Structure 1
Amino acid sequence: MRRLISKAFAQGMLGFLGLTLFGCSSADNEMTGGNIQAVNHTLHGINWLSVNGYRADGGGGRSCCIVMPAKWRPGLKANIEWEVDSDPYAYSKWPTDEKGYWDAQTKHKANYQRHSATVDIPEWPGTKRCGLSVHFLVCNGVKVTSSCWAPSSPNYPIKDPMEMKEPALCPK
């Protein structure tokens, strides 16, 4: 019982501090939540991604959640980390017996690669922001947008083609 009271007290204090820190802030510092969407333009698999410490699934679709300013301001950055599986369909060639399968999976996971990049978050108009979409490009490139348009729309700002093959040599 004592532990429950302590936990409730701690949660109440955190809530109070949150109101103190954010409730009295100016509109320019207001933060809101949104989804993170991974858009993979490569033939590799994106296992997971992280944007400014908010982790999401790399398999496409939207994942909850990221906290961003309600209003864009100069200097906003996205620190992105992600894990790549260069052979996402390898499991179809793995042995079917249990030991062989787990051995193949362990060997396969050893080839996963982790990358990171920091990119500018482009300006969005007013307070119209729709989460953050992270586009994974060849040569471990990334672009981000907070556009409310669907990637298939002609109004969508990122126009890189899908299913791009890695070039033999990536620029430095």
Structure 2
Amino acid sequence: MHYQNKTPGQKMRILFLLSFIAILTGCKDEMLAVPVGAYNYTNHDMSMVWVNGQWVGGPSVNGGGASAGSINLPRKYTPGITVKIQWERSVCIHDTPECEKRDASGGFILTTGSKTVTIPPYDGEKMAEVQVVLLPNDDARIYVENMSLFHKEHPSHKEFGTLIEDGPRPLEGIWPQYSNKPKDASK
């Protein structure tokens, strides 16, 4: 039976069904602009942070969280989604005499770094912020969440226990124990 041989009611039902399938198929690939907040857990001031080329701020030591930009993510999480985090930071330790040194043009002496990070699973119906966590040794993590990094149920606990929950601050003195192996949060 061909489409031309259908009654008007049958044609409407077929068009409705095709539209409904198209809508459902489109929803799974829907991209959403999600605000990004950068959190600095190093002892270096970050002058600029970008995620996938989008500027997202410049958190100072002990700072972060203000969303200055956004990135597009699919509403439906699929394994293997990565983002490229890039940063420009001071070469000196915050608030030391070394930070008084300037380059030839009189500006702060800066260095750059980058890391491609795989995004852990997220709920696309509840995501509120992409959280970029800048860590010692030019390391970084990313979370897509609807809860604060400081919330007791934040997924960072699986790797770090309460380390991130206690707020942005330099972690250089205790970071090496976390840099090569995940921490078992159940201990």
The answer to whether TM tops 0.5 is: yes
Q: Are 1:134 and 1:145, in contact at CA under 8 Å, matched by a contact in 2?
A: yes
- 3-state SS of 1:114 partner: strand
Q: 1:135 aligns with which of 130, 133, 136?
A: 133
Equivalent AA in structure 2 for residue 144 of structure 1: I
Which residue is 2:39 aligned to? 39
Cα separation, 1, equivalents of 2:133 and 2:58: 10
What 5-or-longer segments of structure 2 have no aligned partner? 1-22, 181-187
Please say if residues 130 and 144 of structure 2, whose CA atoms lie closer than 8 Å, have aligned partners that are also in contact: yes
Q: Which amino acid aligns with 2:170?
A: E
Of 62, 72, 76, the match for 2:81: 76
Greater helix percent: which structure? 1
Q: Which residue of 2 aligns with 1:115?
A: 113
TM-score normalised by the chain length of structure 2: 0.63
Larger RCO, structure (CA 8 Å, separation 6 or more): 1
- Percent sequence identity is 21
Deviation at 1:48?
1.1
Conserved? CA contact 2:57–2:69, under 8 Å:
no
In the aligned structure 2, how far is the partner of 1:157 from the partner of 1:78? 18
Change (3 A) 1:25 1:112: farther
Which residues of 2 match residues 91-170 of structure 1 at below 5 A?
Answer: 106-109=105-108, 111-158=109-156, 159=160, 160-161=163-164, 162-165=169-172
Taking structure 1 as the reference length, the TM-score comes to 0.68
Q: Determine helix, strand or coil for the equivalent of 1:106.
A: coil
How far apart are residue 43 of structure 1 and its match?
A: 1.1
Contact 1:31 1:70 in 2 (8 A): yes
1:65 maps onto 2:65 in alignment: no
Question: Unaligned regions of 5+ residues in structure 1, if any?
Answer: 1-22, 95-100
1:25-84: CA deviation from partner (whole Å, max 9, x where unpaired):
711210111111011111111111111121111222111222111111111001111111
How far, CA to CA, are the matches of 1:50 and 1:165 in structure 2? Answer: 22
Q: Once superposed, what is the RMSD of the aligned Cα atoms?
A: 3.1
Shift in CA distance, 125/138, structure 1 to aligned 2, threshold 3 Å: same
Larger Rg: 2
